[in-house]
Amino acid sequence: MMTAQPRLGFIGLGAMGRPMALNLMKHGYQMGVYARQPQSAAPLIAAGAAVYKTPAELAAACEVVFTVVTASSDFEQVALDEYGIIHGARAGSVVVDMETISPLVVRRVAQALAARGIDMLDAPVSGGPMGAQSASLAIMVGGKPQVFERIKPLLECLGKTIVHMGDHGAGQVTKACNQLALSVTAQGAAEALALARRCGLDPARVHEVLMGGFAASRVLDLFGKRMVERRFGPGIDARFYHKDVAIALELAQDAGLPLPAAAIVKQQLNALMGAGEGTADFSVLIRVLERAAGTQA
């Protein structure tokens, strides 16, 4: 059984993971961290976190280990390789993966951990770095209901909307649906604003009007505004959406479901990645259209 104030571990201290770990510490939880890049752990160390040399050593000292890494292969590595979580975690402990990865990988890792008596939840999030900082994330969770209930008080330190979606992988399927809807909407925003500019209108004024009608959305508000203002610098990396749309298409293929809009967005993202813009904010998607039309600002 988990103690009333479990010791926590965190792996993945980037733009999302770092503020999430700090928010847990603000609620009084003891924190241990593992970071491949030591400098990323500095704010946590300053706040009192302990540092461990490997994921296995971290897991041995913790009852719950959170991960916010980048890709499916990264999660498999920190969970299952020779220095992975599986070799340190005790039976009854819980691994909570909060990155966006393949549901197939989630189920495979969950099965391997279960063989050692280790529980797991997949709990990807939506809300971006701002949501991580303000603890207002939407969290979609897959795994055993009883494990979800044990971990829910911790998730409530990180987000406002927390929903148990089903068994292992259900959280990741839900996140794939979220990213699919978001990406297709962003493509629509890019096309609308590119068309407005091509026709001689002021994209800022068009954006203002769109935000006052049925076309309004959080995606149009956030990414559309950045498209208008040409703010393509650091933000929410386009490469993450390239990965996420690929996951959605993989799920659709397995399910025998056509996703024509997703396929088009994936090609746009392929072009964006080919142009070396993967680390730009996702609003840079509009540049793919502008380059094709020869109208890039």
Show which residues are catalytic: 175
CB 214 within 8 A of CB 251: no
Non-local (6+) Cβ contacts of 237 within 8 A are: 278, 279, 280, 281, 282
Q: Which of 221, 214, 149, 223 is nearest to 186 (CA)?
A: 223
Q: Can you say whether residue 50 is alpha, beta or left, with left for phi > 0 and alpha for psi between -120 and 50 degrees?
A: beta
C-alpha 110/C-alpha 26 separation (Å) is 29
Q: How many CB atoms lie within 10 A of CB 149?
A: 10
C-alpha 192/C-alpha 110 separation (Å) is 43
